[in-house]
A and B are shown apart, each in its own frame.
Chain A
Amino acid sequence: MRLEELRTKLGYQGLLLGGAALLTSAALAFASRATEADIKAAEAADLKQSLSQVLPGEYENDLLKDTVTLPGKEGNVLVYRGRRAGRVEAVVYRVTGHGYAGKILCVMGVSREGKILGVRVVSHKETPGLGDKIEPAKADWIHAFEGKYLGNPPLEKWAVKKDGGIFDQFAGATITPRGVVNAVKGGLEFFDGNKAKLLDEAGEVK
């Protein structure tokens, strides 16, 4: 009965709310500390895995540690570099496409010669069942980029078929693949424009 009486007091409400907030914040703070390291490790493993998908083969260095940041068309671009015998053999960086429902984040790997080694979509909000065919788990479409470079196909053919290019669009979804194709094309132009810095050869005399 004491509790019944206490519950009607004004001070009790404040204490109850304060107590609930304090307890839950403490639980969250504790959980956040307990999970932080594991979440970071899982995300790093994720990143490594997606890097290795667009950069097939072995590299002698830790990709996550050999990075360079360069200004791109949409803000700074963080570039990971893979080396063999000290020479940069391939680079990986993010490009952003504009799809039907917001941004499409992709990573692309480009070889020293400027050829695409692979492209993967990291995150997107496209229509499930239509636009999500850009994911390799759902369709093979994204593999069409492999081995392509600026010049093969020629610049004006870097588009979906509907726009006179060579890349397939999906039935019912054109904007999504168009966004990805444009992003990849932009990524190759970024590579072309920053080749010396990307390949770490600014100081070398050719």
Chain B
Amino acid sequence: MNDKYARITRDGLWDNNVVFAQMLALCPTLAVTSSATNGLGMGLATTAVLVVSNMVISSVRELVSPEVRIPVYIVLIATLVTLLDMALNAWVHELYKVLGLFIALIVVNCAILGRAESFASKNGMADSALDGLMMGLGFTASLVVIGGVREIFGSGTLFANAHLLLGPAFAFLETTVVPEYKGFLLMILPPGGFMVVGLLLAAKRVLDQRRAARTALVAQEA
């Protein structure tokens, strides 16, 4: 039982990471990761939707017939995102002003439909919730790393304006990595996003291959 949860967690965070393994959701990824703070905001909003949508879809999975599942899932996800958008706008307006830009983008995030299709429609509610949470956190971590790299090279800062997203208590996150930096426009613009995603993807592959080689070696010796 514990093995299963460990598997779901590992899948979400690393082995089957939304960006670096499934290669999904690249459109919002490239669009918002011009800074680490933006990546964090988009990641957290997506995580919230992912958890709820996985739970809802898992709970209706017996009712939905395979023939019409895609339109039903899309309607459910779009509704959830719209509800989140309205709720944030009405009751947490300060946060909405920062996240507002990202929320509409979540509807077109194919990772959410992907998880509905490949996990929530086949598993129970608790498992699906955990899967949503872990996939979401893996997505958030990827966005923060991509955003961080682009921000450091592009504008010489890290987590700039984090207090606008997380509140003044998190102002300590804001660091200037390279003082008096002139900026490297390419990294901020979309081509920089492609380059960083590509390089990080290659780095993850190398790490995975080394690990696989090491386990193979251990297995051989044993």
Contacts from A to B (Cβ < 8 Å): 3, 7-8, 12-13, 16-17, 20-21, 24, 27-28, 31-32, 34-35, 38-39, 42, 45-46, 127-130, 137-138, 171-172
Contact = CB atoms under 8 A, between A and B. Distances in A.
B68 A129 contact: no
B151 interface: yes
24 contacts: A3-B62, A7-B66, A13-B67, A16-B63, A16-B72, A20-B75, A21-B75, A24-B78, A27-B79, A39-B89, A42-B89, A46-B93, A46-B97, A127-B34, A127-B185, A127-B189, A129-B154, A129-B160, A130-B155, A130-B185, A130-B188, A137-B164, A138-B161, A172-B183
B36 to A, nearest CB: 11
Interface of B: 34-35, 38, 62-68, 71-72, 75-76, 78-79, 82-83, 86-87, 89-91, 93, 97, 151, 154-155, 160-161, 164, 182-183, 185, 188-189
A34 B68 CA distance: 31
Interface centre among B34, B65, B82 (most CB of A within 10 A): B65
Contacts of B164: 137
B65 A38 contact: no
Contacts of A7: 65-66
Contacts of A138: 160-161
B76 A24 contact: yes
Contacts of A24: 75-76, 78-79
Given A129-B151, A129-B154, A129-B155, A39 B183 contact: no
A129 B34 contact: yes
A137 B161 contact: yes
Given A16-B63, A31-B87, A39-B90, 10 more contacts: A7-B65, A13-B67, A13-B68, A16-B64, A24-B78, A45-B93, A127-B189, A128-B34, A128-B38, A128-B188
The majority secondary structure among interface residues of chain A is: helix
A3 B97 CA distance: 45
Nearest to A127: B188
Nearest to A138: B161
Overall SS of chain B's interface: helix
Nearest to A42: B93
A31 B83 contact: yes
Contacts of A171: 182-183
A88 B79 CA distance: 47
Contact of A172 (B89, B161, B185): B185
Contacts of B68: 13, 16-17
Contact of A129 (B63, B79, B83, B188): B188
Contacts of B67: 13
A129 B86 contact: no
B38 to A, nearest CB: 7
Nearest to B79: A24
Contacts of A39: 86, 89-90
Contacts of A172: 183, 185
A173 to B, nearest CB: 9
The 5 lowest CB-CB distance pairs between A and B, nearest first, are: A38-B90, A35-B90, A42-B93, A24-B79, A7-B65
Contacts of B34: 127-129
Contacts of B188: 127-130
Given A28-B83, A32-B86, A20 B183 contact: no
B79 A17 contact: no
B89 A35 contact: yes
